[in-house]
């Protein structure tokens, strides 16, 4: 089970409750982990323009 928890800025992140190794084992890529790290301190309404958060590059195993 994965837990999303509110980060310091008020957005939800998987990296508040889990570590990178756990999330890699679950299938998250480095790009996903980078985005989750950003989510820990981002505020609601902010967008991470440095990370693509949708599309086939995120979930290639669902092909």
Over residues 4-27, mean pLDDT: 93
Q: How would residue 48 be classed by pLDDT, with cut points 50, 70 and 90?
A: confident
Q: Which two tokens stand for residue 57?
A: 């590059």
pLDDT at 14 over 60: yes
> CB–CB of 36/13 below 8 Å?
yes
Q: For residues 41 and 10, what is the distance between their CA atoms, to the nearest angstrom?
A: 7
Q: Delimit the domains of the chain by residue range.
A: 5-54
Predicted TM-score (pTM) of the model is: 0.72
């Amino acid at each position: 089970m994965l837990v999303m928890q509110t980060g310091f800025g008020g957005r939800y992140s998987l990296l508040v409750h889990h570590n990178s190794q756990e999330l890699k084992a679950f299938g998250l890529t480095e790009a996903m982990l980078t985005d989750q790290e950003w989510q820990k301190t981002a505020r609601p309404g902010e967008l991470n323009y440095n990370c693509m958060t949708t599309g086939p590059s995120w979930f290639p195993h669902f092909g």
